[in-house]
Every structure is written in C-alpha cells, then in structure tokens.
C-alpha cells in the first residue's frame, strides 16, 4: 500500500512539472511579448482602425485612336475614361483631412473617396509634395474616424505590423507581417527616402494605405513594392509616420512643402575611402562640393569634412543628410558636428535655405544652361590666357542667344578680370540687369552682352 502511494505521489509531481514547465520556459524566453497580441485575434483592434482607411479613385480621360477601315482616311481619336485606384488615411476626422501618396492623385481634377460604410465623397486637394510622395486631400463629411500617429523613431526590425488598403480595388484588405528593415532607400525612386521595409503583402492599390502597429497606431504610409511581376514578393516600402506627420502638417498649413539645403553635395564613405582619407570609420556624409554663396560656405565647411550629426540627429549616410535637411523649413538654424582631419568640431552653426536661393541666384539667367570650368593656358604667341572656359552651353540659354559658344573663354565680366568660376558668379550677382563679357574665341577677342529678361 505504501509503495502504491509512493508511485501515485511521484506521478502527480511529474505531471505537475510537465504541465508547468512549458509555460515557465516560454515566459523566460519571451518575457517582453504581449501574450494578448500573440494569442488573440487582431479583430478588436481592427474594428476601431479600418474605418480610418479609405479607398481613393481618380478619373481622367485619355485620347484613344479610332481604327479606320477606309484607306487614306485621317485617323481620329476619342476620349476614354480611365479610373485609377489607391488608398488614403484619415488623419483629422473633424476637418476631413486625408493623407495619401502624390502618385495616387497626381494632377487629377476628379478625386472620389469611398469610406468603409460605403459613403462616397468628392475630395479637394489641400497640398501636394512630389519630393516625399505625400499629399493631403479633404472631404466634407461627418462621423469620420481618424487614426492616431505612433513615433516611428522607436520602431525596430522584427516588430509586428499590419497593412490596410485597397489592393486591386478590394477595399479594407488587411495583411500582416513584420518590419524587415529600417532606413531603406529604393534606387528606383528619386526623392526623399527613409523607408520602412516590410514583408506584409502590399499590392497595387495599397499605395497611400496605412501601415499600423498592433495597437492600431499609424507607423507608415504604404508607398511602393519591389516585384518581378505584378504582385507582391515580400518587399514593400512605407513612409515613416514621423515624416508623414511633418509633411502633412506643412501641407495643411501652407499648401506646399519648402525643402531646404545647406549648399553641399556629399557621398557615402566606403572602407576604401576611409582608409585613403585616414578616417577611423565609415559613418557620416563626406562633403564633396560646396556651392558658392551657400550657408555651408559661410559657416566654414570644407570639402572632405565628414558631417556626423545635424541638430542631434545622427547622420550615417549621405541619404540621411539629404532627408534630414529636406524636411526642414528654409531658415532653420542647424548645429553640425563634423570631423575634419580626424578631429571633431562640435559647433558649426548656420541656417538652411531654399534651393532656389542658391541655384537661381547663381545660375539664372546669366549663366543658366552653361557648364563652366577654370582655364589657364599659354598661347603660341606668348599670350597667357586666364579665365573661365565654357565646356557646354544649351542652345536656348540666354548666353547662347547672346552669341556665346562652347569653347569660348570668358576673360572679363562687367569690366573686371576673372580667373575662376567663383569670381564670375560673384560678379553676376552684383548686376541684375545685364552682363558685359569679354570673350576669347579662336585668336580673337569679342565683347558680348547677356540681358536678364526677368528684369526688363
């Protein structure tokens, strides 16, 4: 009897250990996972979120040729209606503001928004930004549901995400996955890039839709896919919510986004470059050019400086430098941390400017459409030429219309001798009406005048 009790006791203890062990191990290995998110349905969260994602359709007409069966008959065309489909996200329920991709609405005059409950409204464009591929439209409707923003700077690879949109016109389609990577650049896209990469299935029609976390907060706007066919292969991109918030607020307030620059070009640092330049690492943006009269020049930046941070935002690549500056309004004060000759310079302060303030000021109208370089040479007759060589000039530029040609050497501008492109640019900015040039061509010297049509 005692032996039987002992066996029963051992069996009960063993069963208790077996029942308890899997849960203790699981809790030990995954202490930070929200068990409700893992084991429960996403339906409760989605029931509060999907109403904030809308279907967007645009109508436009294209001219299609009409085939004629009669020979020698002039071909005619007829307008044909084409409907494009995308998605959008309500970010302000009270005022009816919806954010979407610029490539979804383009320049269409007829934009129709369909809500989850089937209501349909015509939308008006509040503002568009091609550089970030974001636009804000507005509908006049009541009882809308807006989505809260999450802080996309806190995202990590491996976080669970949910994509909501209208792929192929299938409204309120929900897919899920994880964040595959952050700070991605898509080489096919030439704009401000800092994409979230996800494996959540994103297909045509998802553009402008929401990428959300498991709490139903917006972490990104779906914008692009990488595919070898017409569908998803597990590589999708979304614009981070912090960028969406920044751009949408500017669009609502100003109707446009004014991007800014410092007046530099930069490149990424490869291990080979780091070794050749005696840099300790490859982190940062290597300055390759500084534009004349730019904030960068005035602040004392130099070619081969390495920009490591702007206003405490770390700069790891030249793309990040481009993105950080581009999202600032012109006139923003910036504090740079740079490396020069392997020594950190902690305080270089300047202000950003609108790109037009640099490029229009220096290249239009006098020098627009020209490629210039410094030139020095000794002629056979002993004449020493020192000036600026025109290596290429557009036929429709003001300089070409005034008589300048490729191969001309500019020796004098407005009565002042010049020896560098920088000197020529400075002289052109001092006289807004016309530019008198002394030019060397062949073996002769000529005087030419370029007029500023904008000041006539």
Q: Report the 10 Å Cβ neighbour count for 267.
A: 14
Whether 41 maps to a domain, the answer reads no
Are residues 292 and 342 both part of a single domain? yes
Q: Exposed (0-12), middle (13-18) or buried (19+): which is 182, by Cβ within 10 Å?
A: middle
Indicate the SS3 state at residue 200.
coil
Q: Token digits for 12?
A: 């009960």
Instruction: Give per-residue burial for 52-91: e unless 16+ CB within 10 Å, then b.
Output: bbbbbbbeeeeeeeeeeeeeeeeeeeeeeeeebbbbbbbb
Which residue of the set 57, 129, 133, 362 is catalytic? Answer: 133
Distance between CA atoms of 345 and 205, rounded to whole angstroms? Answer: 48
Are residues 119 and 176 both part of a single domain? no
Q: What percent of the chain is helix, strand and coil (3-state, nearest 5)?
A: 25, 40, 40
Which one of 85, 111, 138 terminates a domain?
138
Supply the pLDDT for residue 360.
Answer: 53
Whether 16 maps to a domain, the answer reads no
Supply the pLDDT for residue 306.
Answer: 93
Are residues 172 and 90 both part of a single domain? no
Whether 259 maps to a domain, the answer reads no
Which residue of the set 87, 150, 207, 309 is catalytic? Answer: 207
Q: Report the 10 Å Cβ neighbour count for 346.
A: 9
Q: Distance between the two ends of the chain, CA-based, in angstroms?
A: 117
Distance between CA atoms of 259 and 207, rounded to whole angstroms? Answer: 23
Q: Token digits for 235?
A: 């590589």
Which residue of the set 103, 316, 354, 451 is catalytic? Answer: 103
Are residues 168 and 134 both part of a single domain? no
Whether 110 maps to a domain, the answer reads yes
Supply the pLDDT for residue 71.
Answer: 55
Active site residue 207: yes
Which one of 342, 357, 372 terminates a domain?
357
Are residues 159 and 247 both part of a single domain? yes
Are residues 248 and 160 both part of a single domain? yes
Distance between CA atoms of 136 and 221, rounded to whole angstroms? Answer: 12
Residue closest to 352 by CA, chosen among 321, 391, 375, 390: 321
Are residues 213 and 233 both part of a single domain? yes
Which one of 331, 357, 383 terminates a domain?
357
Are residues 208 and 228 both part of a single domain? yes
Helices (H), ranges, 30-145: 35-39, 43-49, 102-105
- Cβ atoms 165, 52 nearer than 8 A: no
pTM over 0.85: no
Are residues 418 and 443 both part of a single domain? yes
- Cβ atoms 146, 92 nearer than 8 A: yes
Whether 2 maps to a domain, the answer reads no
Q: Give the domain CATH number at 402.
A: 2.30.42.10
**What are the residues whose beta carbons fall under 8 Å from the beta carbon of 161, sequence distance 6 or more?**
176, 177, 178, 179, 198, 200, 211, 212, 213, 219
Whether 23 maps to a domain, the answer reads no
Distance between CA atoms of 314 and 310, rounded to whole angstroms? Answer: 7
- Cβ atoms 273, 409 nearer than 8 A: no
Q: What is the separation of C-alpha 178 from the centre of its chain, rounded to a whole number of angstroms?
A: 22
DSSP for 21-37 reads HHHHHHHHH-TTS-HHH
Are residues 449 and 426 both part of a single domain? yes
- Cβ atoms 112, 123 nearer than 8 A: yes
Active site residue 133: yes
**What are the residues whose beta carbons fall under 8 Å from the beta carbon of 176, sequence distance 6 or more?**
42, 160, 161, 162, 163, 200
Supply the pLDDT for residue 433.
Answer: 72
Are residues 164 and 184 both part of a single domain? yes
Query: CA-CA-CA-CA torsion for 61, 65, 69, 73, nearest 10 degrees?
Result: 120
Domains identified in the chain, total number: 4
Distance between CA atoms of 411 and 408, rounded to whole angstroms? Answer: 9
Whether 112 maps to a domain, the answer reads yes
Which residues does residue 289 pair with via DSSP β-bridges, in sequence order?
265
Supply the pLDDT for residue 63.
Answer: 55
pLDDT along the chain (456 residues), means of 10: 47 46 39 49 91 89 56 56 82 97 84 94 93 93 95 94 88 92 68 83 87 96 68 78 93 89 89 89 90 85 92 87 85 91 80 73 63 80 81 81 89 90 81 82 86 53
Whether 163 maps to a domain, the answer reads yes
Location of structure tokens 């290597």: 286
Are residues 246 and 159 both part of a single domain? yes
Distance between CA atoms of 180 and 175, rounded to whole angstroms? Answer: 15
Domain hosting 281: range is 264-357
- Cβ atoms 81, 61 nearer than 8 A: yes
Q: Give the domain CATH number at 117.
A: 2.40.10.10
């Amino acid at each position: 009897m005692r032996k039987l009790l002992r066996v029963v006791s051992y069996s009960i203890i063993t069963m208790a250990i077996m029942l308890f062990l899997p849960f203790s191990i699981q809790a030990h290995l995954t202490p930070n996972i929200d068990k409700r998110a893992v084991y429960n349905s996403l339906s409760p969260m989605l029931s509060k979120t999907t109403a904030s994602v809308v279907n967007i359709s645009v109508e436009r007409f294209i001219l299609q040729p009409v085939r004629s069966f009669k020979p020698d008959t002039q071909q005619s065309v007829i307008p044909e209606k084409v409907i494009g489909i995308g998605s959008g996200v309500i970010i302000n329920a009270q005022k009816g503001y919806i954010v979407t991709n610029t490539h979804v609405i383009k320049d269409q005059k007829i934009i129709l928004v369909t809500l989850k409950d089937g209501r349909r409204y015509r939308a008006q464009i509040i503002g568009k930004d091609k550089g970030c591929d974001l636009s804000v439209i507005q509908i006049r409707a009541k009882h809308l549901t807006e989505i809260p923003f999450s802080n996309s700077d806190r995202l990590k690879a491996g976080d669970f995400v949910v994509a909501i949109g209208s792929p192929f016109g299938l409204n309120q389609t929900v897919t899920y996955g994880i964040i595959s990577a952050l700070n991605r650049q898509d080489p096919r896209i030439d704009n401000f890039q800092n994409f979230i990469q996800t494996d959540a299935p994103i297909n045509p029609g998802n553009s402008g839709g929401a990428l959300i976390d498991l709490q139903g907060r917006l972490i990104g706007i779906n914008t692009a896919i990488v595919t070898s066919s017409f569908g998803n292969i597990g590589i999708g991109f979304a614009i981070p919510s912090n960028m969406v918030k920044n751009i949408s607020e500017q669009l609502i307030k100003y109707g446009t986004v004014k991007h800014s620059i410092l007046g530099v070009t930069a490149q990424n640092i490869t291990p080979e470059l780091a070794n050749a330049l005696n840099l300790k690492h490859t982190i940062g943006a290597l300055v390759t050019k500084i534009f004349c009269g730019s904030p960068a020049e005035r602040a004392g930046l130099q070619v081969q400086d390495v920009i490591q941070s702007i206003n405490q935002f770390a700069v790891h690549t030249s793309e990040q430098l481009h993105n950080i500056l581009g999202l600032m309004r012109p006139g923003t004060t910036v504090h740079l941390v740079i490396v020069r000759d392997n020594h950190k310079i902690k305080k270089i302060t300047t202000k950003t400017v609108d790109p037009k303030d640099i490029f229009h000021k220096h290249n239009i109208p006098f020098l627009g459409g020209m490629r210039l370089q410094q030139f020095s040479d000794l002629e056979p007759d002993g004449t020493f030429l020192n000036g600026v060589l025109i290596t290429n000039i557009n036929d429709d530029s003001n300089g070409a219309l005034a008589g300048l040609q490729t191969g001309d050497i500019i020796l004098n501008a407005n009565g002042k001798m010049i020896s560098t492109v920088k000197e020529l640019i400075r002289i052109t900015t001092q006289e807004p009406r016309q530019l008198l040039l002394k030019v060397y061509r062949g073996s002769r010297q000529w005087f030419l005048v370029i007029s500023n049509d904008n000041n006539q």
